[in-house]
Amino acid sequence: MSTLNNFSVSYAVEGIIRQAETCLPNDVIEALKNARDLESENRAIAQLDAILKNILIADNRAIPMCQDTGILVFFVEIGRDVCIDFDLDEAIRQGVRQATNSVPLRPNAVEPLTRQNSGDNTGDGLPDINYSFVDGKAVKITVAPKGAGSENMSAIQMLKPSQVDSVKRFVVETVLKAGGMPCPPIIVGVGIGGSFDKSARLAKRSLLRDIDDMDDFEQELLDAINSLGIGPMGLGGRTTALAVHVEKAHCHTASLPVAVNIQCWANRHASITLEAGND
């Protein structure tokens, strides 16, 4: 069997948080550059130029690209042949604490009612860690920092089974209501099916996909959203969204959950694969 240790995990987590906060994935950068080339509105061009300059400065200086460094969401894929004999949750949490000091991150984790800040981006239920099992002898950890500006514009609706034709309308209306609040151009994650909470999880996970990975239905949604004319930072233009990603799951015969998780232009995420040694 294979083994890992808490020190290697916490160190790796600290590293991918730094990468996610300071370096935007190449597919997102290229999508922003393409959007800039397609724009004809001077205000839209200016906003996209500012975004691209911001990305370059963050990368060159190794500093967070946004003052809202988000809450930390993790997706962990565990190989079935890996032996974990330590508290993996705590190792990830320790990596978050370390990154809070070293990156640094803005302390964003608060108790929901008292609003007391933990000071280190951890707390009850945070970071949000999602586990799945795959073949192999490795553990892959992905972090996706999620800021509040875009998260607050997200929505979920329990449609009736007879309202399949309303899915597209709900997605587009959610973006329309959001307007410039989530700092467009945005990436729109959509979860269809499952249960109330499953649809939201599908929508968030879909944001990890490559920007250009879209089928005909997703492209149709993207075209409808971009026809709204909200544009970069809500100032008008051709590009309100860079992509729409839809994930689906079978659901109850009597329900049709649909979740829309909006992500700002800073679609931050980074991964590391830890090969476990053999006993």
What CATH number has the domain bearing residue 92?
A: 3.30.360
Q: Do 103 and 119 belong together in one domain?
A: yes
In a domain, 58, yes or no: no
The CA angle 128-133-139, to the nearest 5 degrees, is: 75
Instruction: Give CA separation, 76 vs 138, 202, 204, 249, 260, in Å.
Output: 11, 15, 14, 20, 22
pLDDT of residue 1: 37
pLDDT tens figures, 174-184: 999 999 999 99
Q: What is the DSSP string of 89-143?
A: HHHHHHHHHHHHHHTT-----B-TTT--B-SSS-BTTBSEEEEEEESSSEEEEEE
What was the pLDDT predicted at 91? 98
Q: Do 248 and 116 share a structural domain? A: no
What's the pLDDT score for residue 2? 46
Looking at the fold, whether 103 and 157 belong to one and the same domain comes out as no
179 dihedral zone (left: phi>0; alpha: psi -120 to 50; beta): left
Domain membership flag for residue 59: no
For 274, the token pair is: 């830890």
Residues 85 and 197 in one domain: no
Q: What is the pTM of this model?
A: 0.95
Name residues of the chain where pLDDT drops below 70: 1-3, 277-279
Domain contains 45 = no
Q: Are residues 159 and 225 in the same domain?
A: yes
Tell me how many domains the chain contains: 2
Range of the domain at 139: 2-23+65-147+268-278
**How many Cβ atoms sit within 10 Å of the Cβ of residue 181?**
15
- Shared domain for 12 and 139, answered yes or no, is yes
Phi and psi based region of residue 234 (left: phi greater than 0; alpha: psi -120 to 50; beta: remaining): left
96 plus 169 within the same structural domain: no
Residue 42 located in a structural domain? no
**Which pLDDT score is estimated for 3?**
59
* Tens digit of each residue's pLDDT (9 = 90 or more) over 98-149: 999 999 999 999 999 999 999 999 999 999 999 999 999 999 999 999 999 9
Q: Using CA atoms, how far apart are residues 136 and 199, in angstroms rounded to an integer?
A: 28
pLDDT at 4: 87
- Residue 142 sits in the same domain as residue 246: no
pLDDT in the model for residue 66: 97
